[in-house]
Chain A
Amino acid sequence: GAGVSQSPSNKVTEKGKDVELRCDPISGHTALYWYRQSLGQGLEFLIYFQGNSAPDKSGLPSDRFSAERTGGSVSTLTIQRTQQEDSAVYLCASSSARGARPNYGYTFGSGTRLTVV
């Protein structure tokens, strides 16, 4: 597609339920990132995919959070047994290259606003 697409755009869920958030990156982008922005907080890194593998999962806040990517394309972020502190905007970004080379940029999706009630 023309941009990074995330769905749903808004999700309200009850505490304790599981949720799945989806990210569809720009076609051909090999790198995919999940970030989270809690209310009044800055953005924080969650997980990075290169192809289908996740070299860096260091930002996942607990074992209730998991993510996968299939076919080097779509990624899903799953939060099990949601808690109120999980409420945030979850942002996905993709990029066409990997590693420390500086000359590539990110394209962000518009995010999924998750509210746990």
Chain B
Amino acid sequence: KNEVEQSPQNLTAQEGEFITINCSYSVGISALHWLQQHPGGGIVSLFMLSSGKKKHGRLIATINIQEKHSSLHITASHPRDSAVYICAVRDTDKLIFGTGTRLQVFP
């Protein structure tokens, strides 16, 4: 069993839909990251969380430390949101990654 599990693996949506991507982990962590990887391979760090909730534009990330679960929400989704979204947890000095959620948003 992977230490970091994401669901769903693949997600398609119509423009404007509300999207939720889930991440569950089984190890103790100091922080959790949400990353975005575009088709060219570049990775952008979206959020780093250790508790509660963060919001940036149309993106919202939440974490429940007791339940070892985090969610990434995208409101009013847009085709440019199409990417792979990766959850990663920090174990001391390194990241442990989920396998990613491939999101496609159609106009």
Contact = CB atoms under 8 A, between A and B. Distances in A.
B31 A89 contact: no
B71 interface: no
B97 A59 contact: no
Interface residues of A, number: 31
Contact of B96 (A45, A48, A111): A45
A106 B94 CA distance: 11
Interface in B54-107: 86, 88, 90, 92-100
Instruction: Tell me whether chain B's interface is mostly helix, strand or loop, or mixed.
Output: strand
Contacts of A56: 92-94
A1 interface: no
Interface string A23-50: 0000000010101010001111100101
Interface residues of B, number: 24
A102 B50 contact: yes
A91 B95 CA distance: 13
Contact of A50 (B40, B93, B96): B93
B99 A108 contact: no
Given A89-B41, A108-B42, A111-B42, A31 B93 contact: yes
B95 A55 contact: no
A103 interface: yes
Interface stretch (A12-20, A70-78, A93-101): A93-101
Contacts of B41: 37, 89, 110-111, 113
B96 to A, nearest CB: 7
Contacts of A48: 93-94
A11 to B, nearest CB: 14
Given A42-B99, A111-B42, A102 B90 contact: yes
